[in-house]
Amino acid sequence: MAPWERLKFILLYSPEKTQKTRNNNNSRVGELYSINNYFLFIFRAVAAYLRALNLSPNNAVVHGNLACVYYEQGLIDLAIDTYRRAIELQPNFPDAYCNLANALKEKGQVSEAEECYNTALRLCPSHADSLNNLANIKREQGYIEEATRLYLKALEVFPEFAAAHSNLASVLQQQGKLNEALMHYKEAIRIQPTFADAYSNMGNTLKEMQDVSGALQCYTRAIQINPAFADAHSNLASIHKDSGNIPEAIQSYRTALKLKPDFPDAYCNLAHCLQIVCDWTDYEARMRKLVNIVADQLEKNRLPSVHPHHSMLYPLSHEFRKAIAARHANLCLEKINVLHKLPYKFSTELKGRLRIGYVSSDFGNHPTSHLMQSVPGLHDRTKVEVFCYALSQDDGTTFRSKISREAEHFIDLSGIPCNGKAADRICSDNIHILVNMNGYTKGARNEIFALRPAPVQVMWLGYPGTSGASFMDYLITDAVTSPIEVASQYSEKLAYMPYTYFVGDHKQMFPHLKERLIVSDKTGQNLADNVAIINATDLSPLVENTDIKEIKEIVKAAKPVEISLKVAELPTTTLIENMIASGQVQTSLNGVLVQNGLATTQTNNKAATGEEVPQSIVITTRQQYGLPDDAVVYCNFNQLYKIDPATLHMWVNILKAVPNAVLWLLRFPAVGEPNLLNTAQNLGLPPGKIIFSNVAAKEEHVRRGQLADVCLDTPLCNGHTTSMDVLWTGTPVVTLPGETLASRVAASQLNTLGCPELIARSRQEYQDIAIKLGTDKEYIKAMRHKVWTARSTSPLFDCKQYAQGLELLYFKMWERVAAGLKPNHITDTTAKK
């Protein structure tokens, strides 16, 4: 078949050219008219070139132009044959070599394409297109510096080359040179104002620079220029997702996938959005597809579309989770390679104290600081010298000021954006053990660790999983969270804390919750310890002016336990009820002002955020949250993404088995509420059994945990900080550990607290424990008393003891360095029971 007939056949019978007419009969005539015009244009172009070849069969330029028409129509094999004919006729034809290379690359023949680009450049060293396209190949191969050199050469030859500006910007962005990248994107857009790709990529740079509104404008403009630009829709979705606008993110990801069905990044991000809002439509099929996508990407050595921090949510193998983390660690290594820094040299001789460096972007109002803010100041200064390196600017909170004041040295690295210079600063401090508190969470700068500015580098607290990184030596964990049998899940060596690796600063942050008064009226009813509660650092004003009774009771559990409650007997609780119903900030009880527990943000914002200890006497009641006084209240205060269908199924079974039980959840986010309620209803749960509350400020969030009877943990990914919050209020947590680190944290906390009976070994046992707590009044009283008492007697909330445990590990790590030994598991530090 002659080239003309081949072209005609493919154009007429190609499904993609006729699809529109099949899908929309109403516009068939218009579509056919458009297609006919399109065919006519192509036919005329090809016919003209073929006529020219009839007149001059050996005209290389005509062959080259005809090949370009074939290439533009996707007839790649035909294009390759025709380009080769052009080169055969004119061997010194750089344009033909460049275009042939483009076609070969399209076919996946990258090495042949590279050879053709190089030939074009030998013939014409200033061939801008070949320089740019060869740079693209070098970039894809990971040769970032060579790619940068070629892009710069292309721009030297042709300064108005918009594509080269955009490509160079992308490489600069990859290296963390964001301001330079931005400059080149702007140049690309100045030269070519309708360059949609440049707008979209500039949006990515601005997003990385925390300029959300600028990124949003770029993505929107890219879509205006090209409404069918799937990548721009996906990027726009990511902005919505990061801003908490999940419905808008879902819509944009779905648009991207409609435009480009084979789009793994958009699919996996959509799946995460659906997880956030508990939309479990086709859940099993979605999970299977996610696993298949990751398997395919790992096999092809591509960066997986599932983020390491999300991998725990999906049924991936441990090998896959570790490999996902490893790919992200390798990205960090690629970024630092361009710095050409020589390896740092260290002395193994310890002169003076051991120097510990904590690196975090979360020294401020963040759950990590809520947990560990006291630890730097509690280290033994006769043994260790503590340096805290902040990756974020001062947020003006007392969390930041406490850490910066109590740490022996506090260095703000946020003003040193160059990772090489930041690593130099750390190395100049002669740090022995450098601690990574971010992992793959927001604000991380793992490139600093990839440069290895310290001889020992350790993962701790902020990231619940392995780094997958060759440059991280140890992961601080414990024997329950990370049993040695599953050590292969981790790229690091395991270092066991004596008790749990988790820590909570609740004794220092919330001392007003150490004691409580139970509110009751003179009838003596409502003596439950979690219906109406008064807390304060100093309860004496109320004690002196109110009838306080200590009620003792022997509870017949496994063995008799004496429990006692301090009860404030009021003539009536009407004043409190009216205050809550009317939204008053406070009321007077026997001449003593008592604050409405819902009003802390109105009275003292620093107390509300947990930065200061509340000085008021605060009352917390079930009435404030619409919880029935006489109900068994189960709670979970985690973000909703941690719930999966299997967990909700267990919760529904528990609620069905326990008379007068309700489940208390948070609108975290609010758009998840209807999805969960609908699913629960489909499982046969009557309306009104699940009660939602809004997300609250930190102090209220912790304090209101007192109102629940039992916290039901999420097995997929435990409550970590939230479990500590609930346990500090004396509320038992029921957990079911899985195989991942993130699914075993609550078990470690409960084990340290001395409550292993709350740790289930199966889904059935999880339900059995929860049901027993909800139906056996003696058992739940004994269990709540045990948790309440253990808070102050167990190591779980003892930050001083925790700091000593860290020091024990640090010295054992250094002993191996001093002895010339490689890192190894440190497991002989677990406390004996």
Residue by residue, DSSP assigns 421-488 as HHHHHHHHTT-SEEEES-TTSTT--HHHHHT--SSEEEE-SSSSS----TT--EEEE-TTTS-GGGGG
Instruction: Judge whether 649 counts as a catalytic residue.
Output: no
**Beta-ladder partners of 390:** 360, 412
Three-class DSSP category at 532: strand
d(CA 613, CA 608): 9
Residue by residue, DSSP assigns 173-237 as HHTT-HHHHHHHHHHHHHH-TT-HHHHHHHHHHHHHTT-HHHHHHHHHHHHHH-TT-HHHHHHHH
For residue 32, the tally of other CB atoms under 10 A from its CB is 13
Beta carbons of 758 and 773 less than 8 angstroms apart: no
For residue 673, the tally of other CB atoms under 10 A from its CB is 18
Spell out the residues 6+ positions from residue 637 whose beta carbon is closer than 8 angstroms to its own: 665, 666, 668, 701, 705, 711, 719, 722, 725, 726
Say what the alpha-carbon torsion angle 604, 608, 612, 615 is, to the nearest 10 degrees. Answer: 60
* Residue recorded with tokens 């790619």: 147
* Residue recorded with tokens 């947020």: 395
Beta carbons of 635 and 665 less than 8 angstroms apart: yes
User: Do the bridges between strand 690-693 and strand 618-621 make them parallel or antiparallel, or are there none, so unpaired?
Assistant: unpaired
Beta carbons of 429 and 447 less than 8 angstroms apart: no
List the structure tokens of 489. 């899940």
Residue by residue, DSSP assigns 61-105 as HHHHHHHHHHHHTT-HHHHHHHHHHHHHH-TT-HHHHHHHHHHHH
Beta carbons of 296 and 268 less than 8 angstroms apart: no
Could you give the C-alpha distances from 335 to 301, 329, 398, 449, 678, in angstroms and in order?
Answer: 17, 10, 35, 12, 47
Where do the DSSP E strands lie in 223-380? 354-360
* Residue in 508, 500, 460 with CA at minimum distance from that of residue 478: 500
Beta carbons of 640 and 717 less than 8 angstroms apart: no
Beta carbons of 782 and 561 less than 8 angstroms apart: yes
Beta carbons of 776 and 659 less than 8 angstroms apart: no
d(CA 20, CA 25): 9
* Residue in 669, 666, 711, 706 with CA at minimum distance from that of residue 690: 666
Q: Which of 272, 309, 366, 512 is catalytic?
A: 309
Active site amino acids: 309
